[in-house]
């Protein structure tokens, strides 16, 4: 059984007991979240596609908050002596899928 769910304007394929890194969500470690925006559910060969959403929901638990690896942004203009280096670390929330209610 799997579902495609919309979390923070991004789509994720989830299965039971999956651990995902999603964009930063509000809440503390151990909190339970529910995601009602389920686009597709597949259960033992039976596929349900929403228009745009199905009546299913996905429940998850927050494991931790963190920051991804640094992404370097390098800018340069040739023959002008201009170079600029910026770094960025995106914040994320690690969640564990606890149930898929189809």
**53-78 tens-digit pLDDT:** 999 999 999 999 999 999 999 999 99
How many Cβ atoms sit within 10 Å of the Cβ of residue 54? 19
98 pLDDT above the threshold of 90: yes
52: Cβ–Cβ under 8 A, 6 or more apart, which residues? 39
What distance in Å separates the CA atoms of residue 100 and residue 36, rounded to the nearest whole number?
A: 10
pLDDT-based confidence at residue 91 (cuts at 50, 70, 90) = very high
Q: Report the predicted TM-score, pTM, of the whole model to 2 decimal places.
A: 0.83
pLDDT at residue number 7 = 95
Residues 40 and 53: their CA atoms lie apart, in Å, by 8
Largest CA distance in the chain: 62
Decide: 96 and 32 in contact? Cβ < 8 Å: no
Query: What is the CA 42 to chain-centroid distance, rounded?
Result: 19
The share of the chain scoring above pLDDT 70, in percent, equals: 100
Give yes or no for residue 39 having a pLDDT over 90. Answer: yes
């Amino acid at each position: 059984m799997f579902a495609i769910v919309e979390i923070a304007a991004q789509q994720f394929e989830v299965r039971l007991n999956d651990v995902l890194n999603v964009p930063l969500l509000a809440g503390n470690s151990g909190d339970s979240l529910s995601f009602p925006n389920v686009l597709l559910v597949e259960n033992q060969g039976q596929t349900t596609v929403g228009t745009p959403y199905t009546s299913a929901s996905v429940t998850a638990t927050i494991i931790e908050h963190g920051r991804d690896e640094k992404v370097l942004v390098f800018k340069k203009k040739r023959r002008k002596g201009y170079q600029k280096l910026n770094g960025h670390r995106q914040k994320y929330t690690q969640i564990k899928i606890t149930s898929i209610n189809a």
